[in-house]
Structure 1
Amino acid sequence: MDLYFVKRPLVKRYGDELAGSTAVALLDRQVIPDGTPIVLGADMRPVEPMSSWFRHLAYLGRVPETMRSYAYVVLRLAEYLASRQTDLLAAGEVDLLAYRRQRLDAQAMPIDPVTWDREASTVNGLFAWLTEAGHRPSGPLRMPKAYGSGMSHGMQVRHLALDQYLFFRDVGLGGQGPDGEVDVVFRGGFPHRNRAGAELALMTGMRKREWSTVLEPELVRRPEGPGEFGLQACAKGGRRRKVYVPAAPLDLVDTYRLLERAEIVERAAARLARRHRELFVVDDIDGLGRLSGVLEGRRRTFAMARMPAELRRITVSECAGGLEAMAVFLGQGGLMLGPSSWDRIRRLAWERMSAFAERGPAPVLPRRPWRFHDLRHTFALRLLKHLTQMLIEAELRRADPRPLVTLAEHISMNPLLVVQRALGHASPRTTYEYLAYLEDPMTYVDQAFRAWSDSDGASYSDIAVWLLEGERNAQEG
């Protein structure tokens, strides 16, 4: 079995004109969006019922990145079941429990329970659909929830201190040495772009899918300095929100535009012009945030906030030498840098930071590489702490002893709800988990037991710190 993904531009580019047009027309008739996974067998025909499930997911509006991750989970399961001489339609409870043991314990590099629970959720969703669609008389598990790891875990929050962030941004991504000087042996590409991306992630709290797909018309300054734009299609769950962009990331983006982006655009303009039939060529931007242009031979108009990442990736405009991508962050080919490219940049940055940490002074590095999503956690914690402090100070300055009791006051002044809206969380319950990370518990332990000591001079503070460190190591392990 081989896994493929629907992509109309490739069908048009590599198929002859008649066959390509026919295939695209069939995809349009079946309303199958680009990015939909398709599993093909040795006869190059779709393998069922997997391919039908992926089409079902596409009809539900799942984004391509989500469907891609689901596809690899299901393909891996199908291959394992084949090794046991069974398949998705005949697999029983023992087969799935054996697969769980394989992933968590038996394979060369077992996965952690958090990763497994995400896979188990996908598998449960698949078998629920197989049963509902009539492909199976019943599910293979008597208790679907038991298919998970059985462990209770909240959101994994990892955040960076200031020195850690600057080390990540400037040394790992930006090619500097720990002393701030330019490292002459640095061979990474486009350090100004990478630093600007990290700064935008940190100062806005956007997810990688959100900040990496920003378009040039969205990331502009208002007269007073900062920027602001609406987010929807690229947000998780399509939830609408406003994003505030401070001046600091805009300054780094301006530097990147001047020193790197202009060169990328110039080199790629003629190449993109030859591909104009595959691209959304914009020729008008109105004052309401809408782009108008030609896509697949038709005149189209889209509101920027409602443009999905796949459309943003092929959105271009006319420039002096040909075409220019409208995305802010570009790759060498002249179009928007994709998620896998950002992941590669992050891994190389981690290798570089780890090498420096072995040779000399460096901030404390965690055992696992930092992710761009850790910058979102850092934003949430810093903002929540700052808003809480502001609220306390405002209460102390108020002459009116009346407490804040109205609903409007509660919503507008509650730090938790403010941060929830800024992050685009569907529920304050998710944001609530950040509260556990607002303060360092070691500080309170030391203050509480500083004056206490036993006969041999060991303080309760030392004991408490040791116990807490053991608890923390157990959780991380």
Structure 2
Amino acid sequence: MHQAIYSGQEWESWGLAARPVIPEGMPVLIDDDLLFEDAGVPRPAVAVNRWLRELPANGAPAPKTWRYYAQILREWMAFLAERGVSLFGERPALKAALSAYAVHRSCGPLDARFEATTWNQHMSVLSGFYRWAVAEGYAVAEPFTYKQAQTSYGDVAQVQLANQARRRTPKPHVTIKYLEADFAELFLKALAGLAPDGTEDVSYRGRELERNAAVGRLALSTGLRRQEFTHLLAVEIPPLPRKRSPLPVPFPVPAGVTKGRKFRTTWIDYDALAEVHRYLRLTRPLAADGSPWQPPMSWGSRWSLPGQMPEAAGSTAFGLPGMPCGRPNVVVWWRLTAVRCCWRCVRTADRSLRGPQFSPVPPSGSVNASSRGSRMFIPIGSAIPSRSGPLNRWSAATTRRRPGW
């Protein structure tokens, strides 16, 4: 079975009367013979693709989630096909196949084994798919068995269905991984290009050391995910309090970079926040000063920021009214036209310097990396672009040490 990614570019040449109502980037599963029906009867892949297309309307708006769910269904369908079991077969055959699949994922080949948490995710996705298939009339039964389980939160007790195929997992407090303070300090010194004693490591060769140290300390202090601190913009860093305080400073995490796009507030200590502000005020402008790099104009064909700071609700710029939702907003360029969008709409894909959707260049192409407006919209987790282009690989920043350090 093959998995393709849908793209609606040049759909006018397909001979269709209207644009297909398929989300951009939606995965599509296709059988090996590239057929979707047999003698006019749709194959199971047709039902799977329809379920995938309905995911955005059922609480899964992220393209990464679509591809992950498609991969789960693809592996399950391939396993059933090897054993001659239909995806929408009878319940006894499906239950037997599920038992064999559980053994395959727990005691099978090493490259096929799953951790308990991964297995539970797969079972949750397959359970949701089969319940949808039964409700839509595609399937007559599902392979899962459920039992009633009582859960309580505070004084509220609820009865829920528990999938018997799920494995037992350790309690959350058992799986917490702690980083000792002395090792954390050693790690930050390595990011800054320093030796274990705090002196300069003359044999180390790297760049953006101040950025690495500042953002690394920010990540340790706030507990942000890599996706979050990598795409965090300078305008989203909270202001530094006037007086130093031993109490942590509230750190709002924008919904555009969080997992599931859920806004939350975490905390950061004063020293870590001060180091980030020093990097933004001193090192970052010096690194960008005189940089000849400019993003290609092809990057600006869709998104392009003219270097304006996020504005208060109701304000105007370029003669455009503020957002009716009352949220802070920003002016962007959409197909060479200045429009205003909600700040929450700027997602991680729009912030990526390597992606085609976001660029600090206005349609005129007259702004380079050294301009102030451009710097403010380059994520703090990304290096200021040089002649070779932007750097956004944290794995390289954390492993590029000389041998024997």
Q: Same fold (TM over 0.5)?
A: yes
Higher helix share: 1
Cα shift at 1:139? 0.8
Cα distance change on mapping 1:79 and 1:179 into 2, 3 Å: farther
2:341 is matched with which residue: 290, 295, 302? 302
Cα distance change on mapping 1:306 and 1:275 into 2, 3 Å: closer
- The alignment status of 1:53 with 2:62, answered yes or no, reads no
Q: Within 5 Å, give how 1:203-352 maps onto structure 2.
A: 203-219=221-237, 221-222=239-240, 224=242, 229=252, 231-243=254-266, 245-254=268-277, 257=280, 259=283, 263=287, 269-282=293-306, 284-285=308-309, 286-288=311-313, 289-313=328-352, 314-318=357-361, 321-322=367-368, 324=374, 325-330=377-382, 337=392, 341-342=393-394, 344-345=395-396, 349=399
Q: Tell me the distance in 2 between the aligned counterparts of 1:82 and 1:92.
A: 12
- Letter of the 2:84 partner, please give it: Q
Cα distance change on mapping 1:275 and 1:154 into 2, 3 Å: closer
Cα distance change on mapping 1:168 and 1:79 into 2, 3 Å: farther
Q: What is the DSSP-based 3-state SS (H/G/I as helix, E as strand, rest coil) of the residue aligned with 1:129?
A: helix
Cα shift at 1:96? 1.7
Aligned to 1:450: none
Cα distance change on mapping 1:52 and 1:187 into 2, 3 Å: farther
2:105 is matched with which residue: 103, 114, 117? 103
State percent identity of aligned pairs: 20
Aligned to 1:39: 29
Q: Tell me the distance in 2 between the aligned counterparts of 1:135 and 1:186.
A: 61
Q: What is the DSSP-based 3-state SS (H/G/I as helix, E as strand, rest coil) of the residue aligned with 2:75?
A: helix
Cα distance change on mapping 1:352 and 1:334 into 2, 3 Å: closer
Q: Tell me the distance in 2 between the aligned counterparts of 1:294 and 1:275.
A: 12
TM-score (norm 1): 0.58
Cα shift at 1:162? 1.0
Cα shift at 1:304? 1.9
Cα distance change on mapping 1:111 and 1:142 into 2, 3 Å: closer
Cα shift at 1:260? 6.3
8 A contact 2:192–2:212 mirrored in 1: yes
Q: Within 5 Å, give how 1:75-114 maps onto structure 2.
A: 75-90=74-89, 92-109=94-111, 110-114=113-117
2:120 is matched with which residue: 102, 117, 120? 117
8 A contact 2:329–2:340 mirrored in 1: yes
8 A contact 2:80–2:97 mirrored in 1: yes
Aligned to 1:2: 2
8 A contact 1:268–1:334 mirrored in 2: no
Cα distance change on mapping 1:345 and 1:103 into 2, 3 Å: farther
Q: Tell me the distance in 2 between the aligned counterparts of 1:133 and 1:266.
A: 61
- Letter of the 1:133 partner, please give it: E
Cα shift at 1:271? 3.1
Cα distance change on mapping 1:150 and 1:166 into 2, 3 Å: same
Q: Tell me the distance in 2 between the aligned counterparts of 1:327 and 1:148.
A: 40
Aligned to 2:156: none
Cα distance change on mapping 1:238 and 1:147 into 2, 3 Å: same
Cα distance change on mapping 1:229 and 1:149 into 2, 3 Å: closer
Q: Tell me the distance in 1 between the aligned counterparts of 2:84 and 2:283.
A: 58
Per-residue Cα deviation, 1:99-118 (whole angstroms, up to 9, x for no partner)? 12111111225332223222
Aligned to 1:146: 164
Which 10-residue stretch deviates more, 210-219 or 251-260?
Answer: 251-260
2:182 is matched with which residue: 143, 156, 163? 163
Cα distance change on mapping 1:229 and 1:70 into 2, 3 Å: same
Q: Tell me the distance in 2 between the aligned counterparts of 1:265 and 1:107.
A: 54
Q: What is the DSSP-based 3-state SS (H/G/I as helix, E as strand, rest coil) of the residue aligned with 1:270?
A: coil
Cα distance change on mapping 1:306 and 1:293 into 2, 3 Å: closer
Q: Tell me the distance in 1 between the aligned counterparts of 2:289 and 2:28.
A: 34
Q: Tell me the distance in 2 between the aligned counterparts of 1:45 and 1:222.
A: 60
Q: Tell me the distance in 2 between the aligned counterparts of 1:147 and 1:134.
A: 23
- Letter of the 2:359 partner, please give it: V
Q: Tell me the distance in 1 between the aligned counterparts of 2:99 and 2:344.
A: 44
Structure 2 unaligned segments of length 5 or more: list them: 37-44, 147-161, 244-248, 314-327
TM-score (norm 2): 0.67
8 A contact 1:282–1:315 mirrored in 2: no
8 A contact 1:213–1:336 mirrored in 2: no
Structure 1 unaligned segments of length 5 or more: list them: 360-477
Cα shift at 1:246? 4.7
Q: Tell me the distance in 2 between the aligned counterparts of 1:283 and 1:124.
A: 47
- Letter of the 1:141 partner, please give it: F
Cα shift at 1:93? 1.2
8 A contact 2:351–2:358 mirrored in 1: yes
**Aligned residue pairs: how many?**
338
Cα shift at 1:223? 6.4
- The alignment status of 1:126 with 2:129, answered yes or no, reads yes
Cα shift at 1:94? 1.5
8 A contact 1:272–1:334 mirrored in 2: no
Cα shift at 1:92? 0.6
Q: Tell me the distance in 1 between the aligned counterparts of 2:334 and 2:79.
A: 42
- Letter of the 1:279 partner, please give it: W
Q: CA RMSD in A?
A: 4.0
Q: What is the DSSP-based 3-state SS (H/G/I as helix, E as strand, rest coil) of the residue aligned with 1:38?
A: strand
Cα shift at 1:311? 3.0
Q: What is the DSSP-based 3-state SS (H/G/I as helix, E as strand, rest coil) of the residue aligned with 1:48?
A: helix
Q: Tell me the distance in 2 between the aligned counterparts of 1:31 and 1:265.
A: 44
